[in-house]
Amino acid sequence: MAAKPLFRSLIIISSLVVLVFLFSPSVPSPTTFTSQDSSSSHIWSVRRMTLVFVEIAAALLPAQTSNGYIRVDCYGGLNQMRRDFCDGVGIARLLNATLVLPKFEVAAYWNESRRLILRVSNFSGFADVFDVDYFIHQMKDFVSVVKVLPAELASKEPFRVDCSKRKGHFDYVESILPSLLEHRYISMTPAMSQRRDRYPLYAKAALCQACYSALRLTKSLQEKASELLDAIPKPFMSLHLRFEPDMVAYSQCQYSGLSDTSMEAIEAARGDRKPWTGETARIWRNRGRCPLTPNETAFIFQALSIPTNTNIYLAAGDGLMEMEGLTSIYTNVYTKSELLSDQDFSIMHGNTKAALDYYVSINSDSYIATYFGNMDKMVAAMRAFKGLYKTLFLNRRAFAELTSQGLELEAVVRALWKVHKEDFIMGRGSALPDCFCEYSL
Ligand SMILES: *[C@@H]1O[C@H](CO)[C@@H](O)[C@H](O)[C@H]1NC(C)=O
Ligand SMILES: *[C@@H]1O[C@H](CO)[C@@H](O)[C@H](O)[C@H]1NC(C)=O
Ligand SMILES: *[C@@H]1O[C@H](CO)[C@@H](O)[C@H](O)[C@H]1NC(C)=O
Ligand SMILES: *[C@@H]1O[C@H](CO)[C@@H](O)[C@H](O)[C@H]1NC(C)=O
Residue 120 is assigned to a structural domain of this protein: yes
Q: Is the CB of 36 under 6 A from ligand 2?
A: no
Q: Residue type at 258?
A: L
Nearest-CA residue for ligand 2 atom 8 is 111
Question: Could you tell me which residues come within 8 angstroms of residue 240 by beta carbon, excluding any fewer than 6 positions away?
Answer: 315, 316, 357, 361, 367, 368, 369, 370, 371, 373, 375, 376, 379
Percent of the chain with pLDDT over 70: 77
Q: What sign for the dihedral angle of Cα 423, 424, 425, 430?
A: positive
Co-location of 181 and 225 in the same domain: no
Section 353-376 average pLDDT: 93
Q: What is the CATH number of the domain that holds 367?
A: 3.40.50.11350
- Would you place residue 1 in the very low, low, confident or very high pLDDT band (cuts 50, 70, 90)? very low
Section 170-191 average pLDDT: 90
Q: Is the pLDDT of residue 296 over 90?
A: yes
Q: Residue type at 56?
A: I
Co-location of 227 and 209 in the same domain: no
Helix (H) or strand (E) holding 237: strand 236-240
Co-location of 100 and 186 in the same domain: yes
Q: What ligand is nearest to the CA atom of residue 173?
A: 1
419 or 103, higher pLDDT? 419
Co-location of 108 and 257 in the same domain: no
Co-location of 209 and 223 in the same domain: no
Lowest mean pLDDT among 9-23, 88-102, 249-263: 9-23
Which string of b and e fits 30-46 if b means at least 16 CB within 10 Å? beeeebeeeeebbbbbb
Q: Is the CB of 280 under 6 A from ligand 4?
A: no
Co-location of 283 and 206 in the same domain: no
Predicted pLDDT at 300:
97
Lowest mean pLDDT among 127-141, 292-306, 335-349: 335-349
User: End-to-end distance of the chain based on CA atoms, in angstroms?
Assistant: 55
Q: Is the pLDDT of residue 22 over 70?
A: no
Q: Is the pLDDT of residue 194 over 70?
A: no
Q: Which residue, 72, 63, 65, is CA-closest to 91? A: 72
Which string of b and e fits 376-407 if b means at least 16 CB within 10 Å? bbbbbbbbbbeebbbbbbbbbebbbbbbeeee
- Would you place residue 49 in the very low, low, confident or very high pLDDT band (cuts 50, 70, 90)? low
Q: Is the pLDDT of residue 168 over 60?
A: yes
Q: Is the CB of 173 under 6 A from ligand 1?
A: yes
Co-location of 226 and 325 in the same domain: yes
Residue 54 is assigned to a structural domain of this protein: no
Residue 41 is assigned to a structural domain of this protein: no
52 or 22, higher pLDDT? 52
Q: Is the CB of 295 under 6 A from ligand 4?
A: yes
- Would you place residue 395 in the very low, low, confident or very high pLDDT band (cuts 50, 70, 90)? very high
Span 267-294, pLDDT tens digits: 999 988 899 999 999 999 999 999 999 9
Which pairing describes strands 51-60 and 11-20: parallel, antiparallel, or unpaired?
Answer: antiparallel
Residue 77 is assigned to a structural domain of this protein: yes
Co-location of 228 and 202 in the same domain: no
Ligand 2 atom nearest 111 alpha carbon: 1
Q: What angle do CA 297, 386, 307 make, to 5 degrees?
A: 30
Nearest-CA residue for ligand 2 atom 7 is 113
74 or 16, higher pLDDT? 74
Domain-terminating residue out of 213, 247, 266: 213
Q: What DSSP assignment string belongs to 10-65?
A: -EEEEEEEEEE----S------STT-SS-TTSSGGGS-PPPEEEEEEEEEEPPPSS
Residue 440 is assigned to a structural domain of this protein: no
Predicted pLDDT at 29:
38
CA of 229 to the centre of ligand 3 (A): 29
Domain-terminating residue out of 197, 213, 229: 213
- Would you place residue 192 in the very low, low, confident or very high pLDDT band (cuts 50, 70, 90)? low
Span 299-339, pLDDT tens digits: 999 999 999 999 999 999 878 999 999 999 999 999 998 99
Predicted pLDDT at 225:
94
Co-location of 175 and 283 in the same domain: no
Q: Is the pLDDT of residue 3 over 50?
A: no
Q: Which residue, 109, 103, 102, is CA-closest to 353? A: 109
Predicted pLDDT at 124:
52
Whole-angstrom Cα distance, residue 119 to residue 76? 19
Predicted pLDDT at 125:
77
Helix residue spans in 95-232 (DSSP H): 114-119, 126-129, 132-138, 151-154, 172-183, 201-213, 219-231
Predicted pLDDT at 328:
98
Q: What ligand is nearest to the CA atom of residue 403?
A: 4
Residues 305/35, Cβ–Cβ less than 8 Å: yes
Residue 148 is assigned to a structural domain of this protein: yes
Q: What DSSP assignment string belongs to 162-197?
A: --TT--SS--HHHHHHHHHHHHSEEEE---SSS-ST
If one counts the domains in the chain, the total is 2
Mutation test residue for ligand 2: of 110, 111, 112, the one with most atoms within 8 Å of CB = 111
Residues 44/63, Cβ–Cβ less than 8 Å: no
Residue 74 is assigned to a structural domain of this protein: yes
Predicted pLDDT at 106:
62
Co-location of 266 and 396 in the same domain: yes
Predicted pLDDT at 201:
82
Q: Is the pLDDT of residue 247 over 80?
A: yes
Helix (H) or strand (E) holding 361: helix 350-361
Residues 344/352, Cβ–Cβ less than 8 Å: no
Section 17-42 average pLDDT: 38
Q: Is 68 left (phi over 0), alpha (psi -120 to 50) or beta?
A: left
Co-location of 331 and 250 in the same domain: yes
12 or 295, higher pLDDT? 295
Residue 20 is assigned to a structural domain of this protein: no
Co-location of 100 and 193 in the same domain: yes
222 or 51, higher pLDDT? 222
- Kindly report the pTM of this predicted structure: 0.81
Section 40-54 average pLDDT: 64
Domain-terminating residue out of 213, 233, 251: 213
CA of 111 to the centre of ligand 2 (A): 6
Span 223-239, pLDDT tens digits: 999 999 999 999 999 99
CA of 233 to the centre of ligand 3 (A): 37
Range of the domain at 86: 61-213
Q: Which residue, 396, 403, 393, 375, is CA-closest to 290? A: 396
